[in-house]
Amino acid sequence: MTEFSPQHQFAIDIVGKLRSAGHEALFAGGCVRDALLGREAKDYDVATTARPEEVRKLFGHKRTLAVGASFGVIMVLGPKDAGQVEVATFRTEGEYLDGRRPESVEFCTPEEDAKRRDFTINGMFYDPIEKRVLDFVSGAADLTARTIRAIGDPHERVKEDKLRMLRAVRFAATLDFALDPTTANAIREMSSELIVVSAERITQELKKMLVDVHRRRAIELADDVGLMRIVFPELDPIRRESEWQVTLRRLELLERPSFELAMAALLKPLSDKPVVGYVWRRLKLSNDECDRIRWLVGHQQDLDDAPRLSLAALKRTLAHPYCADLLKLVRADRIANSSNLEPIEFCEDFLARTPIEVLDPIPFVTGDDLIALGLKPGPRFKSVLVAIRDAQLNLQIASRDEAIALVKAEWNK
């Protein structure tokens, strides 16, 4: 007997229960594609003839969430290790007028539901009881041909939901498939319309592309079909320069990067401009993501110069919580530029032989100590604290008493 993952088993049980209640139920979309590719799906989606209220009744209100009941979508909550499975009524969708959700949905047959999906490889169903694939859109043939092809007329499909353009690039790149030429041409013609799609949806696709090992191809493909100038207009001048090749190489060389690290590698050529702020606002990134990208973009020079930095500056950089990503970024950048790795090796060596209490020691004095000494908070106060910390990190003072003596000397300067 085959062992299924808890979520997979839970999805099979859901199909079984819907069938016993007299409904048709099938696995749908991405999980069918992944199974045919021999991969474990990230999540399982079930499509059914049961209406949302019937799904809720069958599994109980406590075990279901009406995440998008008006669109036919109910989340069924499984045992702890199984997570949740989306159960959606077979449906056709109207236009996505607001770029987020279809204006209306109508319940329909499995075949019609298959045809409203984006790409042929994402349009198949699987019957886990009979172990049979239901393929109304020739998805299996495109999986074998390793091709991303819109279902039906690509212009029409993009017109309904412009995000599909970016999704086509994402699937082609991450699966390492070709983009069907007719689909690619439709995207080229309509690329500027991506602008109407909400930042959240664009960013979600962008994240999947940039953390994937095929991120370089994703960016090249997005560029080829005209989407880069919409998603990253700031990079327009760079894309025409030789530095672009270095950027692509740097991006490619990152090892399992976070989204922020990949973004920093992409935006690095613009480090002297306030670009991170523009991108952050346009793509609606979180403050935390923005801080991280900004810090990485802004501190590369520090690592390049590491052997020449003061001990204090070096320790500050290497003790920073984002430093591991900075090391990865500068390593990729130096290889991309055919530079030597001396500064990286210098830092790694320093980290290896410097215990944390030396790299980032407990401060001899804090703001509270300064207040106790009668100093008033303000810009001077801050610069004195920094000077004392520098002296500590530079090993110019070795005790709290020496630190306090230095506070007094600095304050009276």
Task: Point out which residues bind Mg ion (CB under 5 A).
Answer: 30
Q: Which listed option, Mg ion, ligand ATP, none, makes contact with residue 164 (CB within 5 to 8 Å by class)?
A: ligand ATP
Give residues with Cβ within 8 angstroms of 174, minimum separation 6.
Answer: 208, 209, 212, 214, 218
Of 56 and 164, which CB lies nearer to ligand ATP in the complex structure? 164
CB 96 within 8 A of CB 102: yes
- In the complex, the smallest distance separating the C-beta of residue 116 from ligand ATP, rounded to whole angstroms, is 6
The residues of the shown chain that bind ligand ATP, judged by CB under 6 A, are 29-30, 42, 45, 117-118, 122-123, 161, 163-164
Q: Give me the DSSP letters along 329-389.
A: HHHHHHHHTT---HHHHHHHHHHHHS-HHHHSPPPS--HHHHHHTTPPPSHHHHHHHHHHH
Q: Give me the DSSP letters along 204-245.
A: HHHHHHHHSTTHHHHHHHHHHTT-HHHH-GGGHHHHTSTHHH
Of 30 and 154, which CB lies nearer to Mg ion in the complex structure? 30
Of 155 and 214, which CB lies nearer to Mg ion in the complex structure? 214
For residue 403, the Cα-to-chain-centroid distance in whole angstroms is 45
- In the complex, the smallest distance separating the C-beta of residue 119 from Mg ion, rounded to whole angstroms, is 13
Rounded Cα distance between 362 and 370, Å, is: 16
CB 400 within 8 A of CB 386: no
Place of tokens 């300064």: 370
- In the complex, the smallest distance separating the C-beta of residue 227 from ligand ATP, rounded to whole angstroms, is 15
Q: Which listed option, ligand ATP, Mg ion, none, makes contact with residue 89 (CB within 5 to 8 Å by class)?
A: none
Of 25 and 323, which CB lies nearer to ligand ATP in the complex structure? 25
Q: Which listed option, ligand ATP, Mg ion, none, makes contact with residue 161 (CB within 5 to 8 Å by class)?
A: ligand ATP
- In the complex, the smallest distance separating the C-beta of residue 43 from Mg ion, rounded to whole angstroms, is 5
Of 204 and 354, which CB lies nearer to ligand ATP in the complex structure? 204
Q: Which listed option, Mg ion, ligand ATP, none, makes contact with residue 118 (CB within 5 to 8 Å by class)?
A: ligand ATP
- In the complex, the smallest distance separating the C-beta of residue 3 from Mg ion, rounded to whole angstroms, is 22
- In the complex, the smallest distance separating the C-beta of residue 359 from Mg ion, rounded to whole angstroms, is 42
CA atoms within 13 A on the CB side of 181: 0
Q: Which listed option, ligand ATP, Mg ion, none, makes contact with residue 163 (CB within 5 to 8 Å by class)?
A: ligand ATP
What amino acid is encoded at 27 in this protein? F
Q: Which residue is at the shortest CB distance from ligand ATP? A: 30
Of 110 and 123, which CB lies nearer to ligand ATP in the complex structure? 123
Going 387 to 388 to 393 to 394, the CA torsion angle's sign is: positive
Say if strands 84-89 and 105-107 run parallel, antiparallel, or are unpaired: unpaired
